[in-house]
């Protein structure tokens, strides 16, 4: 996947993170932090994204990781508004696995936006001969449904960060 390339789709558009987005991203993080159901699965937002300066630091960090070729992050735009973020990171063990993570703001869920963004990223990873992988908290039912709709299948349980996760591998473009 080209680093500076944007992906367009009738439902969503994926664009690289940039500093000009920090206020809009901060507002998105605040809407997630105010939603108990969502903040349960994204505790780092409550803990770390408490100011526009913190968001700027996150953007710069993601840009550095992208320049190093180890992580790629994109904002998810819906109707020209930032709806969420999707990213993937390459495993340090040089395997062909790419772990994907994503989230949307509460007003953007239930519209197929995450499914579409996940399919776009997955397609790009497959074209690079990488195996897309999702590790989803066992109690995050909404994210599990997104994964299945995007063509992922449950593979087994794993423990990450002292928590139980379900692991999903991509099986088909659906």
In a domain, residue 83? The reply is yes
Query: What burial letters (b/e) apply to 112-126, b meaning 16+ CB within 10 Å?
Result: ebbbbbbbbbbebbe
Residue 1 within a domain: no
Predicted confidence at residue 1, as pLDDT, reads 42
Residue 109 falls inside a structural domain: yes
Identify whether 144 is part of a domain.
Answer: yes
Q: Give residue for tokens 């996947």.
A: 1
Cβ proximity of 84 and 13 under 8 Å: no
**In the block, which residue shows the tokens 């397609």?**
123
Q: How far apart are CA 139 and CA 150, in angstroms?
A: 19
Q: What pLDDT does residue 46 have? A: 84
Give the pLDDT score at 167.
82
Structure tokens at 67: 């320049």
In a domain? residue 105: yes
In a domain, 81, yes or no: yes
Measured N-to-C along each axis, helices 113-127 and 141-149 cross at an angle, to the nearest 10 degrees, of 50
The domain in which residue 46 lies consists of 7-170
128-137 b/e (C-beta count within 10 Å ≥ 16 → b) = eebebbbbbb
The list of the chain residues with pLDDT below 70 reads: 1-10, 93-94, 172-174
- 2 in a structural domain: no
User: Using an 8 Å Cβ cutoff, are 38 and 46 in contact?
Assistant: no
Is residue 123 in a domain?
yes
> Can you give the CATH number for the domain in which 30 is found?
3.40.630.30
Domain count, the chain: 1
Q: Please measure the distance between the N-terminal and C-terminal CA atoms of the chain and give it in whole angstroms.
A: 20
The pLDDT value given to residue 59: 97
What is the model's pLDDT at position 172? 61
């Amino acid at each position: 996947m080209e680093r500076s390339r944007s992906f367009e789709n009738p439902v969503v558009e994926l664009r690289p993170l940039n500093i000009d987005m920090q206020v809009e991203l901060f507002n998105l993080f605040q809407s997630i932090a105010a939603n108990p159901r969502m903040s349960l699965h994204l505790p780092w937002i409550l803990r770390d994204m408490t100011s526009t300066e913190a968001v700027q630091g996150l953007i710069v960090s993601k840009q550095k990781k992208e320049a190093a070729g180890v992580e790629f992050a994109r904002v998810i735009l819906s109707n020209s508004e930032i709806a969420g973020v999707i990213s993937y990171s390459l495993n340090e063990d040089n395997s062909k696995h790419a772990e994907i993570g994503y989230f949307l703001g509460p007003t953007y869920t239930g519209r197929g936006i995450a499914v579409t963004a996940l399919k776009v990223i997955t397609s790009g990873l497959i074209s690079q001969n990488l195996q897309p992988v999702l590790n989803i908290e066992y109690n995050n039912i909404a994210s599990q449904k997104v994964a299945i709709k995007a063509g992922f299948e449950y593979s087994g349980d794993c423990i990450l960060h002292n928590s139980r996760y379900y692991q999903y591998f991509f099986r088909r473009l659906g």
